[in-house]
Structure 1
Amino acid sequence: MEAFLVSLGVVALGEMGDKTQLLAIILAATFRKPWQIVAGIFVATIVNHAVAGAVGGWVAQALGPDLLRWIIGISFLAMAVWMLIPDKIDDDSATTKRAYGAFGTTVVTFFLAEMGDKTQIATVALAARYPDVVQVVLGTTLGMMLANVPAVFLGDKIAQKVSMKLVHSVAAAIFAILGVLTLLNVGNFF
């Protein structure tokens, strides 16, 4: 359960103000079909995070526990720093042709936007950190949905009321704590 809850919390916070959340707002404004966009976000996220989770699980098995602990700890610390750098949406992501409709466009653009993104990297690191990869993928996927579904339906109203700097700072602190705890080998994870 810890893997699920940590993955959920880290990704939900980390996704606030992320380029994929901005993409969700743009897609909602462009297509005005929120349920198709939500379904597209879910499909793209579950596929992307399942692959990332599988990579993280493989990394955990391929490396020895000591080397793995250092790599994951340093990765979490790097994620903490990365969380403090604001995201901007790529012009290419927002201007995908409408030929695929709201659902298809959302699946394609969301999947591509997540490639190498903070939440994908976090999913790899979390899946390497926790032995229950399924719980990690479920947690990170639900975290993405918790951050992006309101963005689809409420968009700019949320962005005006929530301090993204504060949200990113909290997420950075969580990643930093996870990194330090991992490097100090606190817990029975390795």
Structure 2
Amino acid sequence: MIATILLSFGVLFLAELGDKSQLMALTFSLRYRWWVVLAGISVASVAVNLIAAGVGHFLGTALPANAIAVITALTLLVVGLWTLHDALSSDSDSDEAPEPPSARNAFLVVISAFTLAELGDRTMFAAAALASNNNWLAVWIGSVAGMVAAGGLAILVGKFAGKHLPERGIAIASGLLFLFFAGKTVLDAFAPQLGGWGSAVLALIAPALLGLGVAVWRTRAKPAVHGDELAETAR
């Protein structure tokens, strides 16, 4: 059983490296408290891998992958627009991002996004394949541990990067990344012929243009704000 746990841990950990779930963990860690993100990842991992280890190898081909992809994309789109709205709605002359949502709301967002992203993902099928030839309980334990470890590594990277970046910039970048993930999720599901790099390039277009627009808007807004402050001081 220990050997199966270690095998499942290694397979899931390696499968998660560079996967969209790990990138989502990094992005969430830039916006929310690390322990909230890790707790959300843990709960989602327990649920998804329980399905995979228990009955995933029977239901895997029957999962409505395209429908799940659309729901996941919509969830990421809402989170991205919400994050951008919060980042841009406060005073334009402040470099501080608005207060992040409550721990409860952030926890629910992380759980929802990760659960939807993992359903039908390659890591779920990897866990199902392992469970078909090994003890399902051992596969479940190892898969959960591997997925949480990969998410924890992404959180560490995110927190380290967050200490060297302005909070408002982090919030805007997080929102744009969620929009990128939403687009890539849809393209991966409905246009698999594009491949990983092709879908990434296409999904990057809209967030890149929006980011450029935000940068131009902020550049033009700052001189106007500072001019108003100088006029007020002169009075």
The answer, yes or no, to whether TM exceeds 0.5 is yes
The aligned counterpart of 1:150 is 153
- Mapped contact 1:34–1:152 kept (Cα < 8 A): yes
The aligned counterpart of 1:105 is 109
The aligned counterpart of 2:28 is 27
The aligned counterpart of 1:139 is 142
User: Equivalent residue of 2:48, what SS?
Assistant: helix
- Structure 1's 28 and 40: CA in aligned 2 closer, same or farther, altered over 3 A? same
Q: Where do 4+ consecutive residues of structure 1 move more than 3 Å?
A: 56-59, 89-92, 97-100
The CA distance in 2 between the partners of 1:27 and 1:143, in whole Å, is 19
- Structure 1's 26 and 94: CA in aligned 2 closer, same or farther, altered over 3 A? farther
The aligned counterpart of 1:15 is 16
RMSD: 2.6
Question: Aligned-pair distance for 1:30?
Answer: 2.1
Larger Cα Rg: Structure 1 or Structure 2?
A: 2
Paired residues, number: 127
Q: For residues 118-142 of structure 1, what are the alpha-carbon distances to aligned partners after superposition, in whole Å with 9 as ceiling and x for unaligned?
A: 1111111111121x11110000110
Q: Any gaps of 5 or more consecutive residues in structure 2?
A: 60-71, 83-100, 162-235
- Mapped contact 1:23–1:93 kept (Cα < 8 A): no
- Mapped contact 2:53–2:128 kept (Cα < 8 A): yes
The CA distance in 2 between the partners of 1:94 and 1:103, in whole Å, is 17
1:143 aligned partner, one-letter code: G
- Mapped contact 2:43–2:111 kept (Cα < 8 A): yes
Q: For residues 147-186 of structure 1, what are the alpha-carbon distances to aligned partners after superposition, in whole Å with 9 as ceiling and x for unaligned?
A: 111211223869xxxxxxxxxxxxxxxxxxxxxxxxxxxx
The aligned counterpart of 2:52 is 52
User: Equivalent residue of 1:106, what SS?
Assistant: helix
The aligned counterpart of 2:43 is 43
Which structure 2 residues correspond to residues 59-138 of structure 1 after superposition, within 5 A?
92-93=75-76, 95-96=78-79, 101-130=105-134, 132-138=135-141
Question: Percent same amino acid at aligned positions?
Answer: 32
- TM normalised by structure 1 equals 0.60
- TM normalised by structure 2 equals 0.49
Q: For residues 100-134 of structure 1, what are the alpha-carbon distances to aligned partners after superposition, in whole Å with 9 as ceiling and x for unaligned?
A: 6221111100000001111111111111121x111
